[in-house]
């Protein structure tokens, strides 16, 4: 494990929410080129150290977000606030049995599923009503 890869994994392990490449590059603990960030994240994901998903938000476009994989982080799903752009973990996947049902019903092999919520978080709702 190289210095760049170690620092990326360390930052992702500390993070309380998924981080984009822009987030990582802006972090002073990450002292490597952006191309290295991309290459290292690909390596870390291939090795199973991190997980990622692609999210589109009108304000900041389409970006991939990364999370460290930990023993307990069993495939979480996220809510993304379209005002403050923070993520909230809404817990692990509730769809396991539906996935099996779809597999047998349609004959698929489901290797992955993408699920996330978007909307306005409580904090942003309160700010809007009190000052709007």
Partner DNA sequence: CAGAATTTGCAAGTCATTCGCATTTTTTGC
Partner DNA sequence: GCAAAAAATGCGAATGACTTGCAAATTCTG
Q: Which residues bind Mn ion (CB under 5 A)?
A: 57, 85
Measure the CA–CA gap between 67 and 76, rounded to whole angstroms.
Answer: 10
Which of 35, 48, 59, 109 contacts a copy of itself by CB under 8 A? 109
* Residue 86: DSSP 8-state: -
The pairing of beta strand 61-68 with beta strand 19-20: antiparallel
Which of 21, 69, 95, 124 contacts DNA by CB under 7 A? 21
Which of 107, 129, 130, 131 contacts a copy of itself by CB under 8 A? 107
Report which of 61, 56, 43 is spatially closest to residue 1, judged by C-alpha positions.
43
Residue 13 binds to a copy of itself (criterion: CB under 8 A): no
Which is nearer to a copy of itself, 30 or 81 (by Cβ)?
81
Residue 38 binds to a copy of itself (criterion: CB under 8 A): no
Residue 69 binds to Zn ion (criterion: CB under 5 A): no
> How far apart, in Å, are the Cα atoms of 111 and each of 25, 40, 87, 99?
30, 23, 24, 10
Which of 20, 36, 76, 88 contacts a copy of itself by CB under 8 A? 88
Instruction: Select from 9-17, 61-69, 84-92, 93-101 the region that touches DNA (CB under 7 A).
Output: 61-69
Residue 39 binds to DNA (criterion: CB under 7 A): yes
Residues in the chain: 132
Measure the CA–CA gap between 110 and 98, rounded to whole angstroms.
Answer: 11
Measure the CA–CA gap between 53 and 64, rounded to whole angstroms.
Answer: 6
Residue 29 binds to DNA (criterion: CB under 7 A): no
Residue 127 binds to Zn ion (criterion: CB under 5 A): no
């Amino acid at each position: 494990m190289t210095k760049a890869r170690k620092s990326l994994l360390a930052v992702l392990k500390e993070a309380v929410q998924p981080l984009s490449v822009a987030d990582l590059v802006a972090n002073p603990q990450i002292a490597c080129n952006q191309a290295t960030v991309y290459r290292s994240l690909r390596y870390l994901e291939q090795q199973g150290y991190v997980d990622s998903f692609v999210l589109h938000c009108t304000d900041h476009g389409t970006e991939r977000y990364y999370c460290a994989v930990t023993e307990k982080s069993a495939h979480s799903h996220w809510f993304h606030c379209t005002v403050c752009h923070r993520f909230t973990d809404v817990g692990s996947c509730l769809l396991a049995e539906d996935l099996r049902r779809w597999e047998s019903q349609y004959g698929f092999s489901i290797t992955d599923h993408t699920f996330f919520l978007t909307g306005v978080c409580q904090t942003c709702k309160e700010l809007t009503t009190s000052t709007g």
